[in-house]
Structure 1
Amino acid sequence: MLETKPKHPSFYLISSAVDGNENSIEKLLQFYDPYISKCCLRPLYDEYGNVYIAVDMELKGRIREALMKMISEFEIAVS
């Protein structure tokens, strides 16, 4: 039986991350890691002019940092 990944993080994980739980923040970052990596793909050229597609680690770090900042500033409205 194939195991399917959830399409979105659970409310508990999000609320725990917003409360500052470091493990939950890391789990959220891991959840979005494939998407972030795909967004950070850039063409790189070697000395012979060959093109390679690679993850721009500097850009990925900046996106992860921005996501952590958004998590810390996120407010959950309960009605």
Structure 2
Amino acid sequence: MNKAHPSFYLISNAVDGNAGAIEKLLEFYEPYISKCCLRPFYDEYGNVCIVVDMELKGRIREALLKMICEFEIDEPNK
């Protein structure tokens, strides 16, 4: 099943530090991150192919992890 966004429950658990939820959140965004990291690569013959820049992908995953750790969920007024 392809969802448009991660559930509140998943985000809440990830923010609370649940390692499984954090991994599921990273898996959710994996295709988007990979697509953002596509770069042209030229071989020694001048041929071009599109590859995933793994260094950039690692930096984006690191930034996402940092955002998850710093994210705060506001509780509604009672």
TM-score normalised by L of structure 1: 0.94
Q: Which residue of 1 aligns with 2:40?
A: 43
Q: Which residue of 2 aligns with 1:10?
A: 7
Check if 1:32 corresponds to 2:29.
yes
Q: Which structure 1 segments of 5+ residues have no match?
A: none
Alpha-carbon offset, residue 78 of structure 1? 1.1
TM-score normalised by L of structure 2: 0.96
Q: Deviations over 1:29-73 (max 9, x none)?
A: 000000000000000000000001000000000000000000000
Q: Which runs of 4+ in 1 moved over 6 A?
A: none
Instruction: Return the alpha-carbon distance in structure 1 between the equivalents of residues 3 and 43 of structure 2.
Output: 38
RMSD: 0.5
Q: How many residues align?
A: 76
Check if 1:75 corresponds to 2:72.
yes
Q: Which structure 2 segments of 5+ residues have no match?
A: none
